[in-house]
Structure 1
Amino acid sequence: MIDLRRLRVLRVLADEGTITATAAALYLTPSAVSQQLRHLSRDLGVELLRREGRRVRLTPEAQILLRHTEDLYAHWERARAELAARGGEPMGELRLCGVSSAIAALVTPALSRLRQGFPKLHVHIREEESGDCYELVAAEQADIAVVLPTSDSPPEGDPRFERRPLLDDVQDLLVPAGHPLTEVDGVSLADAAAEAWIVKPYNNDTYPLLVTACATAGFTPRISHHVKEWFAVSALVAEGAGVCLLPRLVPIPEEHAVVRIPLHGEPRPARRFSTCVRKGSETAPAIAAGLSVLRELATDVLAA
């Protein structure tokens, strides 16, 4: 009988490429990862890894096994979901993760509704970038992720995940009070091409979305500052240090003298949030309740 936990280690190794990275993703030691893979190889009677310097390469036998792994995991998740459904109302632990603005606008309100509706359900929230959220879901460290599309997101059709669009978060141009563009009707993103730009760091989900939006508008942004937190971005804009794209879900502090300008023209810059769960797990009572509440909240946001 194959231990599915060992298959999970092999699956994560295929994504991460090294024993060390796999151990970090699974919150294990490198020696524990190596031991799990040795046991799996012994159980199957085939060689799964070959050393190539400091890295390891998956053998053809390992690739064959991986082709069947996703189906096995999806069936296992469906079995767990069906068993959990026999217990009635959602209970136990539900782990959600997402980027900061999604947590503030969607996940935290979801926590409140889940507490009220399902008192036996314990919700844990974790803030991470979208790429890390996918890893957490795959490693069974999170159950639901609210993610943005990025260049390193798993491709559509990835058999590990079930993804559904949740909310298109339109982005506005944020400028300091008194800026000339506040007097213009029908501002487009191209109208801000000559401005200095305040952007998130390169490794932040929002950075590639901004660069892509500007490229679509026909220019490369002249970046003046890289800042991580939206509060700090807004503060710099208020001081006249540049402009930025600000998602509608992100509130503006009252003390910041800035103006949010809705952009005209197509395509309008927007961030598309999606939910992501492990394939086959979406009918588990706790996960289904979490997904339902998130969809309700997204509908409320769009109607506001």
Structure 2
Amino acid sequence: MLDLERLRALHSVATYGSVSAAADVLHVTTSAVSQQLAKLERETGQKLLERNGRGVRLTDAAELLVAHAERILSLVEQAQADLEAHRGSVVGQLTVASFPTAIRGLMPAALRSLRADHPDLRVLLREEDPMRSMPLVLRGDFDMAVVQDWNNEPLPLTEGLHKGVICEDVADVALPAGHDLAGRDTIDLKELAGDPWISSSSDSICCDWLLRTLRAIDSEPRIDHQAYEFATQLSLVAAGLGNIILPRLGRCDVPPGVAIVPLSAPLSRRVYAVWREEAARRPAIRAAVTALRAAIPAGGGEEVAARVI
């Protein structure tokens, strides 16, 4: 009978391209992966890996076995989810990827609630940009990811994933206090055409979105400075170096020298949890989504960070 962990090792090598990459994902040594593969070769009586320069490549027999392994591992995950659902208990381990703003604005309260209500559940959290986290969920690196999209640019959901809406997060403009429009009640984004902007790193979903949003109003973006965290971006705004689009969930302590002005045509983003179809029945997934929705900061008027929808 084929050993499940050996199949998992082979599937990881096929997915990530090398023995060392598979070892990193499986949190074991490269030697341990090599031993598992050697045992699988003896078990099947087939050569599974061949040297290819400095790396390895899968043989035809390995490719055939990987196709079966993918289905087997999916069925095992579905069986585990069904058993957890049948038992109705929130137990085990839940690995979660999340973008930085949600980690700061939602995760502390959500994780505290999960720990208090479900002490037998262990949640492991890692910061990831949404463009990277959804593929990682799909291939099994994470059980769930917290991601975002914007009302003018919906998130395409990859086949094989389900999503649940956590909240809607309204965005304002943060301007240097000395800006000519800083005292306005609202601003049309077109009024800021030609201004310098501050954004997150160029490989992030937020930077891509800002570029497309500004170009949609016939304004070629002038992004002079890039910083990932909103707190850092606000410091640059306070120094008079540019404007930012600031979601309310990402609003930390606003430093002196910054004016926050709502947009006359509001921009907002939706925050989602996404998970694999096979895991949809896991009580741990449902508990995490519930905790995230309950973690929306409370407030009133413009101080509301986000709202559950």
- Give me the TM-score of the superposition, normalised by structure 2: 0.78
1:40 and 1:189, CA in 2 relative to 1: closer, same or farther beyond 3 A?
farther
Give the deviation of 1:209 after TM superposition.
Answer: 2.6
1:130 and 1:184, CA in 2 relative to 1: closer, same or farther beyond 3 A?
same
For the residues of structure 2 that align with 1:37 and 1:86, how far apart are their CA atoms?
34
Within the candidate set 265, 277, 280, 2:278 is matched to 280
1:185 and 1:84, CA in 2 relative to 1: closer, same or farther beyond 3 A?
closer
Q: How does 1:214-229 map to 2 (within 5 A)?
A: 214-229=214-229
Any idea what the Cα deviations from partners look like across 1:123-173, whole Å, max 9, x if unmatched? Answer: 443333335545764676643321246xxxx984444x4444444434332
For the residues of structure 1 that align with 2:179 and 2:247, how far apart are their CA atoms?
19
Q: How does 1:240-255 map to 2 (within 5 A)?
A: 240-255=240-255
For the residues of structure 2 that align with 1:279 and 1:165, how far apart are their CA atoms?
16
For the residues of structure 2 that align with 1:276 and 1:10, how far apart are their CA atoms?
26
Give the deviation of 1:56 after TM superposition.
Answer: 3.6
Any idea what the Cα deviations from partners look like across 1:75-128, whole Å, max 9, x if unmatched? Answer: 212211232345443234444331221122222221233234334434443333
Q: What SS does structure 1 have at the residue aligned with 2:79? A: helix
Q: What SS does structure 1 have at the residue aligned with 2:171? A: strand
Q: How does 1:1-304 map to 2 (within 5 A)?
A: 1-130=1-130, 133-134=133-134, 137=137, 142-148=142-148, 156-159=157-160, 161-183=161-183, 187-265=187-265, 269-297=267-295, 301-303=306-308
Contact kept? 2:114, 2:291, Cα under 8 Å: yes
1:157 and 1:47, CA in 2 relative to 1: closer, same or farther beyond 3 A?
farther
Unpaired runs of 5+ residues, structure 2, are 150-154, 299-305
Task: Indicate the percent of aligned positions where both proteins have the same amino acid.
Answer: 35
For the residues of structure 2 that align with 1:269 and 1:60, how far apart are their CA atoms?
51
Q: What SS does structure 2 have at the residue aligned with 1:263? A: strand
Paired AA for residue 84 in structure 2: A
Contact kept? 1:235, 1:256, Cα under 8 Å: no
For the residues of structure 2 that align with 1:51 and 1:214, how far apart are their CA atoms?
50
For the residues of structure 2 that align with 1:163 and 1:60, how far apart are their CA atoms?
36
1:88 and 1:182, CA in 2 relative to 1: closer, same or farther beyond 3 A?
same
For the residues of structure 2 that align with 1:264 and 1:15, how far apart are their CA atoms?
47
Contact kept? 1:77, 1:279, Cα under 8 Å: no
Q: State the number of aligned residues.
A: 298
Paired AA for residue 281 in structure 2: T
What is the RMSD of the two structures over their aligned residues, measured on CA atoms? 3.5
For the residues of structure 2 that align with 1:183 and 1:201, how far apart are their CA atoms?
29
Contact kept? 2:200, 2:227, Cα under 8 Å: yes
Paired AA for residue 287 in structure 1: I
Unpaired runs of 5+ residues, structure 1, are none
For the residues of structure 1 that align with 2:186 and 2:254, how far apart are their CA atoms?
25
- Give me the TM-score of the superposition, normalised by structure 1: 0.79
For the residues of structure 2 that align with 1:135 and 1:35, how far apart are their CA atoms?
28
